[in-house]
Structure 1
């Protein structure tokens, strides 16, 4: 599974990249803007997305584009989880900052399970 990391804080982005790779997934990025994320999106299966991006755009706006255009599952990684609940229901999960590695690992495992079930449904006669 290929995981796009969209995070504007360098140290957090590197922590996410380490967790993703330690879990055996391919990390794409990290990137910090909507434009960069959309450029890498065709290579990704899932995205870890911060709510506040360095270009001033909302992670929720990006998530809607990733879901609608590319069918990419989104997990929000945020220091402000309350703002996700204000009108966005498309994310698989919300992981609060500061996070533990296990929280990211669990969210990625849930995304992989969802993908596997979806593929199995499509393959069934």
Structure 2
């Protein structure tokens, strides 16, 4: 599971907690960004992205997620307190989970996304709404 994870989150403590969980299961944090510009700069060094909807530069998460998926080939999952804001789906993104996100769910998501990236079967985490 040698995947690099980009964390796009404007709440620093949440980002640090996500990063610790990513590293605890043996994956690498490609970087932490709190806005669109930082995330796009870090995108080439990542495989997976956890993206909040509301970032330091506004509600830029949905468009950013689409760009990370379509232009950079990242597996994107939104993590937000308001999943209904992306309930209709975001082109290219995998899905959305509602905050707060427990470490066990982060681990399930990472295993699912890593398997999906290499074409292996994996069970979709029950708490994730998958985009069609």
Name the TM-score, length of structure 1 as normaliser: 0.88
CA shift at 1:88, angstroms? 2.2
Give the gaps of 5 or more residues in structure 1.
119-125
Q: CA deviation at 1:89?
A: 4.9
Alignment RMSD:
1.4
Aligned residues: 118
Say whether the 8 Å CA contact 1:93–1:107 is kept in structure 2: no
Q: Name the structure where helix makes up a greater proportion of residues.
A: 1
The structure number with the bigger radius of gyration is: 1
Separation (CA, whole Å) in 2 of partners of 1:36 and 1:42: 11
SS in 2 for 1:99: coil
- After the TM superposition, which parts of structure 1 deviate over 6 Å for at least 4 consecutive aligned residues? none
Whether contact under 8 Å (1:95, 1:103) holds in the other structure is: no
| 1:73 Cα offset (Å) | 0.7
Corresponding position: 1:60 with 2:62:
yes
Match of 1:32 in 2: 34
Match of 2:119, SS? helix
**Gaps (5+ residues) in structure 2?**
121-132
**TM-score using structure 2 length:** 0.84
Q: CA deviation at 1:30?
A: 1.1
